[in-house]
Amino acid sequence: MSTFQERLAAKGRELQELYRSLYGIDGSGLIELLERKHGERKAELLELDRRREADPSWYLKPGMLAMTMYTDLFAGSFKGIIDRIGYLKKRGVTYLHLMPFLATPDNDNDGGFAVSDYSAVNPAFGTNDDLEELADRLRDEGISLCMDFVMNHTSDEHEWAVRAKEGDVKFQRMYMCYPDRTIPDEYEKTVPEVFPSTAPGNFTWCPEMGKWVFTSFYPKQWDLDYSNPDVFLAVLSYMLDWANRGVSIFRLDAVPYIWKKLGTTCRNLPEVHVIVRMLRLAFEIAAPSVILKGEVVMAPKELAAYFGSSDAPECHLLYGVSTMVNIWGALSSQEARLLESWVERILMLPRTCRFVNYVRCHDDIGWGFDEDREKELGIDPLRHKIFQYSFYEGTFPGSYARGQLYNYDPSTLDARSCGTAASLSGLEEAIQRNDTALVERAIGRIALIHAVVFALPGIPLINSGDEIGQLNDYEYIFSPGKKDDSRYLHRSPFRWDLAELADDPETIQGRISSAIEALHRARETMPEFDDDAEVSTWHTGNSSVFALRRQSGGRTLLCVFSFSDKEEYCRFDYFTGYYRDVFTGRTVEPGRGFSVRSHEYLYLEESRE
């Protein structure tokens, strides 16, 4: 248990040095900000700071279960969520990630990712006090609130942008604005496009200002200029305010993009890491119960840097994007070798590097596999990508998936995929065809992919609606602000009518939710899921079958996942004796080998008898 002054004494110097290295000015304003915001923290949060300082890996307890959702889609408002806390508790949720909930323009706001006021919630969801009440009530129930903090850009309706448009140079300096194409054209030579078909180019002409503005994402999302210390201080100040209202996890949206430099891709630059390290230090000093989760949708080789080093940690958690991609890749191709090598790579990272693992989130699936590994396996990266998005679009012969393409780029043949977990796993097609055997298979796939997520180190995250097998919603095409963005296919109102069926084990919803609940229960109760367990992949002798071995406290758990659509055989060298599946009680001898049904998964516990 330490005081603000003690933490400042221990960490303030590094923070000030980093600040000076980046901005060339002294950081006394920054320290004053921390002191002021810490002084505004209420008693319950100071108490939480104390508890979490004493237990710094609180967020890695095996019982942690995250859920992500849009406030309006789940329950209309913050008060609506308060009324539904019982549902979250029933599902075992301990970490609630709310998609962006700050004020945005009414339409065309990129699902809330175009923020027009960092200090106010979207009035449609309630008031700032309602949000605080929600955070309080969640905390009382042992649920931590995660806020999506859109730090790379604001909406062009944010006050800073409005003042910039009016010609105020101070506010133009919050963004990256250029009078002609000279510098933008230079940037365009090296900066890739995020949305090549829906928002091509990285600059937008602003007629009011008579300048080009850097817009990595949509034209209405103006990139902030973090080389201006006023931007950093303002953003940090807002984050501390939300932490003081009870947010305890920040998802740093699009963090790799926050620093730009001519001649580079403007992604993952060293200065990004300086800023993330500064955020980490700032929270450790002023609000130490807060943790940072980076949204880093980048090539696998870039990810580890966002954890920083043991001496200078950055994010506590990262979004497990590549794991998600590799799980879907294995499911369609019935081939788990890329998944296995990806998981091997993350298991080699230091223990402090932990991911939030999920099957689906609010975004698309971008087919970013490890190209070197693909080539080693004789897989042509482009053809593989085309296979994946065609499969999940449902156009590949024999595909069971119902999804849509996202940002198809005819010049590179790149595309990503959208759709809910259930629709991509074949449930939509099965229901349409009224075929119970196909429904069975789809449920099997949905359970399988969640079983992988729950077996990995880190925190499992469920995308609200997936726990009841919610299908795609095609209504978005009738909405002008959404129709060109197929991510809205899987962003639809939570189906409370279907959620009610989840208590009946005979229903599709009951089958899926009870499978997920059983995974959560295993994870929560079995010592093999302790965060300090030794985890490794294990060869199965069958490239469709993926396996993980977890060992802790002298106990071994072997988790086996078949991605095949037919019966397969697998064998585990160096395993002796009998193992028993915690879900079905089935007993096998891994060393001698056994067969697995299509899409079967087993959590095999060493049998002590």
Q: Which is nearer to ligand GLC, 354 or 416 (CB)?
A: 416
Options 75-83, 108-116, 281-289, 409-417: segment touching ligand GLC (CB under 6 A): 108-116
Return d(Cα 280, Cα 433) in angstroms, integer. 51
Contact 223, 153 (CB under 8 A): yes
Q: How far apart are CB 100 and ligand GLC at their closest, in Å?
A: 8
Q: Which amino acid is at 590?
A: P
Rg of the Cα atoms in the chain: 24
Restricted to residues 124-153, the positions that interact with ligand GLC (CB under 6 A) are 150
d(CA 294, CA 319) in angstroms, rounded, equals 6
CA atoms within 13 A on the CB side of 531: 18
The size of the interface with ligand GLC (CB under 6 A), counted in residues, is 11
Q: CB of residue 161 vs ligand GLC: minimum separation in angstroms? A: 15
- The least CB distance from residue 253 to ligand GLC, in Å, is 5
| Contact range with ligand GLC by CB under 6 A, out of 109-117, 393-401, 499-507, 518-526 | 109-117
Query: Binding segment for ligand GLC among 30-38, 73-81, 105-113, 586-594 (CB under 6 A)?
Result: 105-113
The per-residue DSSP string of 347-367 comes to HTS-TT-EEEEES--SS-EE-
Contact indicator for 474, 489 with CB cutoff of 8 Å: yes
Kindly tell me which of 407 and 537 has the beta carbon lying closer to ligand GLC.
407
Question: 77, 84, 96, 110: which one contacts ligand GLC (CB under 6 A)?
Answer: 110
Window 518 to 537, contacts with ligand GLC (CB under 6 A): none
- Concatenated DSSP letters of 26-89: --HHHHHHHHHHHHT--HHHHHHHHHHHHSTTGGG-TT--EEEE-HHHHHSSHHHHHHTHHHHH
CB closer to ligand GLC out of 221 and 248: 221
Binding mask 491-510 for ligand GLC (x = CB under 6 A): --------------------
Tell me which residues in 170-229 interact with ligand GLC (CB under 6 A). 217
**Which spans in 148-291 are helix H?**
159-165, 169-172, 182-188, 229-244, 270-286
Which CB, 49 or 110, lies closer to ligand GLC?
110
Per the document, the length of the chain is 609
Closer by beta carbon to ligand GLC, 245 or else 487: 487
67 vs 455, beta carbon nearer ligand GLC? 67
Say whether residue 284 binds ligand GLC (CB under 6 A): no
Q: Does 594 sit near ligand GLC (CB under 6 A)?
A: no
Regarding 253 and contact with ligand GLC (CB under 6 A), the answer is yes
Q: Smallest distance, Å, CB 220 to ligand GLC?
A: 11
DSSP secondary structure string for all residues of 386-428 = HHHHHHHHT-STT-----EEEEEETTTTEEEEE--HHHHTTHH
Residues annotated as catalytic (active site), given as ranges: 253, 295
Query: Residue 137 and residue 145: Cα distance in Å, rounded?
Result: 10
CB-closest chain residue to ligand GLC: 113
Q: Does 113 bind ligand GLC (CB under 6 A)?
A: yes
Instruction: Please give the Cα distance from 493 to 69 (Å, whole number).
Output: 10
C-beta of 474: minimal distance to ligand GLC in Å?
20
DSSP line for 114-145: S-SEEEEE-GGG--HHHHHHHHHHHHHTT-EE
Ramachandran class of 346: left when φ > 0, alpha when ψ lies in -120 to 50, beta otherwise: alpha
By the rule CB under 6 A, 111 interacts with ligand GLC: yes
Structural contact between residues 353 and 307, judged by C-beta atoms closer than 8 angstroms: yes
321 contributes a contact to ligand GLC by CB under 6 A:
no
> Closest by alpha carbon to 48, among 283, 248, 279?
248
Q: Can you tell me the distance from the alpha carbon of 40 to that of 360, in angstroms, rounded to the nearest whole number?
A: 37
Least CB distance from residue 363 to ligand GLC, whole Å?
Answer: 5
Say whether residue 254 binds ligand GLC (CB under 6 A).
yes
From 52-60, 110-118, 286-294, 557-565, span contacting ligand GLC (CB under 6 A): 110-118
106-114, 172-180, 226-234, 557-565 -> range binding ligand GLC (CB under 6 A)? 106-114
Give bridge partners of residue 97 from the DSSP assignment: 68, 146
- Residue 303 or 443 having the CB closest to ligand GLC: 303
Decide whether 218 or 391 has the Cβ nearer to ligand GLC: 218
User: Under a CB-based contact definition with an 8 Å cutoff, are residues 485 and 418 in contact?
Assistant: no
User: Taking the complex as a whole, how short is the minimal distance between the CB of residue 195 and ligand GLC, in angstroms?
Assistant: 8
- Closer residue to ligand GLC in complex, CB, 8/292: 292
Question: Please, what is the minimum distance in Å from the beta carbon of residue 237 to ligand GLC?
Answer: 21
Question: Binding to ligand GLC by residue 300, rule CB under 6 A?
Answer: no
By CB under 6 A, tell whether 363 contacts ligand GLC. yes
Are 138 and 145 a contacting pair, CB within 8 Å?
yes
Three-state DSSP class for 186? helix
Q: How far is the CB of 385 from ligand GLC (least distance, A)?
A: 19
Query: Where does this chain bind ligand GLC (CB under 6 A)?
Result: 110-111, 113, 150, 217, 253-254, 295, 297, 362-363
